[in-house]
Structure 1
Amino acid sequence: RSEAMDAARSPRRLRGHSSTATCCIASRDRPNIVSTAGEDGCVCLFDLRCKDVQLVIKLGFDAISSLCFKQGASSHFTTSQGNENMIYAASGSEIKCVDLQMPTFEKPMESYAYNMEEINQISCNSKSSFLAAADDSGVVKIIDIRQCRPFKTLRSGHANICSSVQFLPWKPWTVVSGGLDSKMIMWDFSKGRPFLVADF
């Protein structure tokens, strides 16, 4: 029994990409589901209860820099509500959305090309109403998912590359960004203005 427990705790090597993996995310609603992306332009979906990769989605030939699940939807892997069935993937300055329930994964359901430079991280808020995309210019684009249009551009906060962005679930109009200028900025994205800047 102890050997089985040790095996369960030991690191898993997930194989699915033909080149360097660039990012990895875990499902918030299903602890066994993990998705990765790589320089091969593929998104891989893993169920940690299974040995092999479950899905390989080829989105193109360019590297994928960031992934996020769309929150609050039913999943291909479960019939219950509240699990993700869509994945957003950022490649270059474009974001593509793929529905895992569709038979043809290579054709995105939606795509957004509002950033001017390469996107470093994307994030979806808990209500699946907004998507944030941080890019090399230091800008964060907020996209209205339901209306499929840009909502706000958060600029003049970072002096150079904005490397990360996340929504705060307990503050519905707050997004946090971090950059290579060593600044963490909290924004009220409804107004497009920062209200807290921490310089590290």
Structure 2
Amino acid sequence: MAARWAGGHSGAVLCLGASREGLVASGAERGELALWGGGGVPAGRLQLPPADDVTAVAFSPRCPSRLYASHGAAVVVLDARALAEPVERFQVNEEEINCLAVNEADGFLAAADDSGAIKVVDLESKKACRSLRHSNICSSVAFRPQRPQSLVSCGLDMQVMLWNLQKARPLWTTNLQECETEDNPQSAGQLFNPPLAHSLSVASCGNIFGCGAQDGKVRIFRITGVKFEHELEFKGHSLGVSQVLFMPETYWLLTGGNDGKVLLWDVSGDVGKQQKSPAKSLQRRKAQAPASTKKDGKLNKAASNDHARILPKLTIEHGEKVNWLTCTEINGSRRVLVADQSSSISVYPLPES
């Protein structure tokens, strides 16, 4: 049964973010922004004028009290210790922003918008230092951990791209529709539900990332050098996958869909075997697992191409279209926070192992 955090918003909650210290930020329709502690009581509220929706929030990795929020086509910088008027405001995008990402060094912010542009801002000068582009709406962008000048993006042009800030063009591009026809030639010409890419997330190792798409599938990619390869795919949602989120320091992936489900997947059996462990705890769990468990949990590329059924580790029947997911620790236990079309936030417990 979900706990519900209410009282922070009057309209639909559109985005969520969590700091490393456990503070949660939420953005909603008509310029509403709220901060939450672990008890589910609003720790601060702010109405940003004009009444543009707050569509993305991101905490600084280096300074957890610094909060970035997109407000229409603008970005505001706030002090989470005393939520009041923005400390700074800048605008480099021309259309509404869909996603914000800040690199680990807190030197660059990337803002993806409806025009397909990704504006990369130098946070010292607050000026755009690079403009990257998709041919349609750019829905998601993420910096890679341990690689402050490398980022990945996806959009409604069905493109997934790998970028380096030293270059204006992508290092590598994959079209999800082409992946679909290559893996299943019989599907060519029959794609009534094209894989528009909605969300992506990079694992803590920096070389594995997941992408959720409109066709209900989740695709896992492995980055090697200046390119990435289609490693694995599985379908767990009957409608579009609106959110994907790798949990910190693991290869556990949370997905949220337009079908109202939130699913937890363990993809460590395949993608983890060629990676340095993102956490000692993950290696301990794998070492302690009996041989049969490790074998049963192994996900390989051949199996995915044969449409083998990959089962989620946890299924949450949330019941409403998922707008955003985030994960945080509350009272020593991990929780997934879910934003939907309502004005409240749902909080669900997650397994510990």
Deviations along 1:88-117, one digit per CA (max 9) or x if unpaired, are: 110111000111234xx4421111211111
Give me the whole-angstrom Cα distance separating, in 1, the residues matched to 2:175 and 2:111: 21
Structure 2 residue 135 is the aligned partner of structure 1 residue 159: yes
Structure 2 residue 19 is the aligned partner of structure 1 residue 43: no
Greater helix content: 2
Partner of 1:13: 4
Q: How does 1:114-153 map to 2 (within 5 A)?
A: 114-153=92-131
Aligned counterpart for 1:101 among listed residues 55, 74, 81:
81
1:25 counterpart SS class: strand
Partner of 1:90: 70
Partner of 1:25: 17
Partner of 2:144: 168
Q: 1:170 deviation in Å?
A: 2.1
Aligned counterpart for 2:44 among listed residues 55, 70, 88:
55
% identical equivalent positions:
33
Q: 1:51 deviation in Å?
A: 4.2
TM-score, scaled relative to structure 2? 0.48
Aligned counterpart for 1:195 among listed residues 164, 171, 180:
171
The structure-2 alpha-carbon separation of the partners of 1:179 and 1:142, relative to structure 1 and needing over 3 Å to count, comes to: same
Long gaps (5+) in structure 2: 177-353
1:54 counterpart SS class: strand
| Higher RCO (C-alpha under 8 Å, 6+ residues apart) | 2
Task: State the structure with more CA Rg.
Answer: 2
Partner of 2:329: none
Give me the whole-angstrom Cα distance separating, in 2, the residues matched to 1:106 and 1:34: 16
Long gaps (5+) in structure 1: 1-9, 74-83
Q: Which amino acid aligns with 1:68?
A: A
Give me the whole-angstrom Cα distance separating, in 1, the residues matched to 2:166 and 2:18: 28
Q: Which amino acid aligns with 2:47?
A: K
The structure-2 alpha-carbon separation of the partners of 1:34 and 1:101, relative to structure 1 and needing over 3 Å to count, comes to: closer
Partner of 2:158: 182
Partner of 1:77: none
RMSD in angstroms over aligned alpha carbons?
1.4
Give me the whole-angstrom Cα distance separating, in 2, the residues matched to 1:136 and 1:125: 22
Give me the whole-angstrom Cα distance separating, in 2, the residues matched to 1:149 and 1:122: 15
Q: Which amino acid aligns with 1:72?
A: R
User: Is 2:36–2:43's contact at 8 Å kept on the other side of the alignment?
Assistant: yes
1:13 counterpart SS class: strand
1:17 counterpart SS class: coil
Give me the whole-angstrom Cα distance separating, in 2, the residues matched to 1:51 and 1:99: 20
Give me the whole-angstrom Cα distance separating, in 2, the residues matched to 1:133 and 1:142: 6
Aligned counterpart for 2:61 among listed residues 51, 64, 71:
71
Q: 1:17 deviation in Å?
A: 0.4
User: Is 1:58–1:106's contact at 8 Å kept on the other side of the alignment?
Assistant: no
Partner of 2:279: none
User: Is 2:35–2:80's contact at 8 Å kept on the other side of the alignment?
Assistant: no
Q: 1:192 deviation in Å?
A: 2.0
User: Is 1:46–1:54's contact at 8 Å kept on the other side of the alignment?
Assistant: yes
Q: 1:132 deviation in Å?
A: 0.2
